[in-house]
Structure 1
């Protein structure tokens, strides 16, 4: 099982999204890549990434993941939608402890870029993305 956050984890996540028929249905109409950024990591991850904040772009298009771009330093990346959260908050969302839309409203998941109202039109897709991430796991 790939460890979160890593290129391998992001690629496995993309593959799992493509095997989820519920995500395929609920993601129809979403046509924008999303950059997921990880902040405030445990010391061993901070050291691994040299103090930089890793992240990845999922190229999402109508219920499919068309690819992944990995960044050891997510400050070098851009996408129409950017979501950032601390490592611990991402784990809470991935594990299902926190609903992703609730996490956005509580500013645990920060919408750094993108239209909030567009995100809120896809609540089922967001939940399916979390269920898919749970299948990938975190370690």
Structure 2
């Protein structure tokens, strides 16, 4: 499909940012996230049998919207309050709806660095972010 966007890529995350910021549902479920605490995320796509090298993407989340997204060469260069890491194929399963965001964290498929209790207060926001990602026409190029 010609209109699919390669994942992971800067272009994919630009589309993700646009869609999140247009989502009335996420603007409600994410309201308050990142207010008086660092709600930014570093998504870590760990190398596996499909992805040749680990890649990192910064997603700035604040009060029901995305402030910035970009690929990060050195994860120490960004100040993210949270990191979510997992194997590339598990991220595909998450994007395709085969595993839920909260289930993935609770079961250990994904490793969360940061305040799990804070994330649990925003369970619906996590679900909404995952649903938005799943709606992007995606080419899993690896």
TM range (shorter): 0.7 to 0.9
What is the rounded CA distance, in whole Å, between the counterparts of 1:2 and 1:74 in structure 2? 24
Residue in 2 aligned with 1:12?
Answer: 15
Give the root-mean-square deviation of aligned CA atoms: 1.6
| Partner SS, residue 89 of structure 1 | helix
Instruction: Give 1:8 shift.
Output: 1.1
TM normalised by structure 2 equals 0.85
1:35 match: secondary structure = strand
Q: How many equivalent pairs are there?
A: 132
Q: Give 1 or 2: higher helix fraction.
A: 1
Measure how far apart 1:67 and its partner are.
Answer: 1.0
Q: State the match for 2:63 in structure 1.
A: 62
Aligned counterparts of 2:135 and 2:47: Cα–Cα separation in 1:
24
Q: How does 1:99-110 map to 2 (within 5 A)?
A: 99-110=100-111
2:129 alignment partner in structure 1: 129
Are 1:5 and 1:55, in contact at CA under 8 Å, matched by a contact in 2? no
Q: Which consecutive residues of structure 1, in runs of 5 or more, have no partner in the other structure?
A: none
Unaligned runs of 5+ in 2: none
- Aligned partners of 1:75 and 1:36: how far apart in 2? 13
Q: Is the 1:91–1:138 Cα contact (8 Å) retained in structure 2? A: no
Looking at structure 2, the residues matched to 69 and 98 of structure 1 have their Cα atoms a distance apart, in angstroms, of 24
- Per the TM alignment, residue 136 of structure 1 is displaced from its structure 2 partner at its CA by 1.4
1:104/1:110 contact within 8 Å kept: yes
- 8 Å contact kept, 1:26–1:122: yes
